[in-house]
Amino acid sequence: MIGNRKSTLGLAIMLCLLILSCGQETDSDHFIVTLICDVGGLGDKGFNDAGFAGCKMAEEQIPGVEVRIVQSKEQTDYAANLSLAAEKSDAVVTLGFLIMDAVKEVAARYPNVPFIFVDALIDAPNVAAIDFKSEEGAFLAGILAAGVSRTGKVATLPGMDIPPVEAFVSGFQAGVQCANVSSQKNVQALSRTIGSFNDPVKAKSLAKSLQDDGVDILFQLSGLSGLGVLEAVKESPQEDFLIGVDIDQDDLAPGLVLTSVLKRMDLMVFREIQKVHDGTFSGGQYMVGLAEEATCLTDMRHTKHLVPQATLDLIERAKEAIVAGKIHVPRTLEDLKNFQPVNLTL
């Protein structure tokens, strides 16, 4: 793992070469999978850790697989890191919307190397691009938040205003709207953008500001920055909750994390690595959501007793309606403007 390195390109390349060349070269005995993290890095308890979990699953379950990791500290590292990984790996796993342009560039230069890319769709013959209907899981979280909020104010905290994060925000706000119509509520859904996936201090400050305005449920969508939001919830003298994202974060603060919106990157990454290893890989674009069990809420093992049964019933009805195609959850804030909330009690 590369950690705590300077962000100059020359040193980045030297360190990546050291990591990727250590141990055995790619050969018949070792199937090398290199994971390129985004700038949030491992240890974010979310997006990057979810992708890493899929790689580790492959290492544990597929004979011969060896996982190597390169953490990108700056966006300018992406292309160099991808190129080095492509030269030393049987498969390259890449995470994050912000790395998309670099993946397009490098994959075209290494047409025989399989790339597995998560968080947007890329049309390239050697790239399996996986994107999630995150708005569907977030929609369920919006219903939940509206049903549990004691103040009538909930909020999202995006790390950056980029399409995969916007999907969460749009879906969450649509879910709040449906809960309002279905339960005769008037819950407000606010949003404040942090501006970084790697700034817990700023995230905590923004979260506290929202709490001061009466927000009692905070949906963090901000990678490592989300740990700052969690700290704000922990320090609150009120009964505030965090909603986690990407992986099951419920145990980070039992009883204070209302639920987590799962994004099953682990399963999707594992399945694509398996295909590469088995020789069945082919590039393609995959959009997955509730119907594919690629997004959902956790079982709320620490908090379910706090959720009104009527709210749990609304969540189940919403899930069924989305899978059946009766509700089309808006993926963008522009689509949200035209969304007509459904009364789920009818």
Q: Low-confidence residues of the chain, pLDDT below 70?
A: 1-28
d(CA 194, CA 206): 7
Residues 115 and 43 in one domain: yes
Residues 216 and 316 in one domain: yes
Residues 110 and 170 in one domain: no
Residues 321 and 176 in one domain: yes
Residues 61 and 186 in one domain: no
Write the DSSP symbol of residue 126.
T
Of 223, 173, 217, the C-alpha closest to 202 is 223
Residues 113 and 256 in one domain: no
d(CA 194, CA 281): 38
114 falls within a domain? yes
300 falls within a domain? no
Q: Is residue 253 a contact partner of residue 294, using CB atoms and an 8 Å limit?
A: no
Q: What is the pLDDT of residue 265?
A: 92
Q: Roughly what angle, to the nearest 10 degrees, separates helices 78-88 and 9-21?
A: 20
Write the DSSP symbol of residue 338.
T
127 falls within a domain? yes
Would you tell me how many other CB atoms lie within 10 Å of the CB of residue 37? Answer: 27
Q: Is residue 263 a contact partner of residue 295, using CB atoms and an 8 Å limit?
A: yes
CATH number at residue 71: 3.40.50.2300
Q: What is the pLDDT of residue 285?
A: 95
**Side chain identity at residue 139, one-letter code:** F
Give the pTM: 0.84
Residues 229 and 250 in one domain: yes
d(CA 222, CA 226): 5
Residues 257 and 151 in one domain: yes
Burial (CB count within 10 angstroms: exposed 0-12, middle 13-18, buried 19+), residue 162: middle
Residues 189 and 317 in one domain: yes
343 falls within a domain? no
Residues 167 and 256 in one domain: yes
Residues 227 and 258 in one domain: yes
164 falls within a domain? yes
**Side chain identity at residue 242, one-letter code:** L
117 falls within a domain? yes
Residues 210 and 333 in one domain: yes
Domain total in the chain: 2
Rounded CA Rg of the chain: 20
C-alpha angle with apex 296: 101 to 61, nearest 5 degrees? 70
339 is written with which tokens? Answer: 């969304």
Task: For residue 23, give its domain range.
Answer: 9-132+265-292
121 falls within a domain? yes
346 falls within a domain? no
